[in-house]
């Protein structure tokens, strides 16, 4: 759907709620709370799901995080298929360190808020990638428009799919193409 200026406001409210719940966790003063994904890029059309990311030095168990989040609408997300991308771990980007421990994650979903919560280690290369990609799109409006066109075409192609998995995988071609220019931009900003 077209960009909704309410998305960042909703994201901040959700991040504040998660932050208040996570305050009881050890090391919470070092956690980083971020609005990521297409809804975090002003003007960019997106699936109307708010993506949130919390980076923390180490990951508590899924059960522990679920207990802490129990008063909220966030529940563990297990994916539509056994191989659903980005549910239990992220896929390393080309050229990134491939240490599997750094790609482990916890994923939560709130149907009531149409929000996805990605909990990743602070040293996760993928956590850095998604934040850098968001910032790169914010500073490169022509590329953001191009990404939007690709996503709209993929959404149409996968409109009858039972889940978003193939749509998600298909976006990787764009990410692979822009990654060198994006990483160069990140080094010089």
pLDDT at residue 163 above 80?
A: no
Q: How far is CA 155 from CA 4, 42, 98, 116, in A?
A: 18, 20, 30, 18
* Interior/surface letters 151-164, b for 16+ CB within 10 angstroms, e for the rest: beebbeebeeeeeb
Please state which of the ranges 117-121, 132-136, 158-162, 171-175 shows the lowest mean pLDDT.
Answer: 158-162
pLDDT tens-place string over residues 63-87:
999 999 999 999 999 888 777 878 8
What pLDDT is recorded for position 155?
A: 87
Q: What is the rounded CA–CA span in Å between residue 75 and residue 138?
A: 30
Give per-residue pLDDT as tens, 6-17: 999 999 999 999
The structure's pTM equals: 0.93
pLDDT at 79: 84
C-alpha dist (Å) from residue 38 to 95, 97, 114, 141, 153: 24, 25, 14, 12, 15
Higher pLDDT: 84 or 122? It is 122
Query: Which runs of E-coded beta strand occur in the chain?
Result: 32-36, 50-56, 75-76, 105-110, 115-121
- Helices (H) and strands (E) counted in the chain, each on its own, are 6, 5
Question: How does pLDDT run across 25-56, given as a tens digit for each residue?
Answer: 999 999 999 999 999 999 999 999 999 999 99
Residue 124 CA: distances (Å) to CA of 47, 128, 129, 161: 25, 7, 9, 30
Give the domains, in start order, of the chain with CATH numbers.
7-188 (3.30.460.10)
């Amino acid at each position: 759907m077209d960009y909704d200026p309410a998305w960042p406001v909703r994201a901040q409210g959700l991040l504040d709620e998660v932050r208040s719940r996570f305050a009881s966790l050890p090391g919470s003063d070092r956690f980083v709370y971020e609005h990521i994904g297409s809804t975090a890029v002003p003007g960019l059309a997106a699936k109307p799901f708010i993506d949130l990311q919390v980076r923390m030095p180490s990951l508590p168990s899924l059960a522990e995080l679920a207990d802490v989040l129990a008063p909220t609408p966030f529940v563990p997300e297990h994916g539509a298929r056994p191989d659903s991308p980005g549910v239990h771990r992220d896929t390393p980007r080309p050229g990134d360190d491939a240490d599997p421990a750094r790609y482990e994650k916890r994923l939560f979903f709130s149907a009531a808020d149409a929000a996805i919560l990605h909990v990743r280690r602070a040293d996760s290369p993928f956590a850095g990638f998604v934040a850098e990609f968001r910032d790169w799109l914010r500073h490169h409006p022509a590329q953001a428009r191009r990404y939007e066109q690709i996503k709209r075409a993929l959404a149409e192609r996968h409109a009858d799919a039972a889940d978003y998995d193939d749509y998600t995988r298909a976006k990787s071609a764009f990410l692979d193409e822009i990654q060198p220019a994006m990483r160069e931009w990140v080094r010089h900003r």
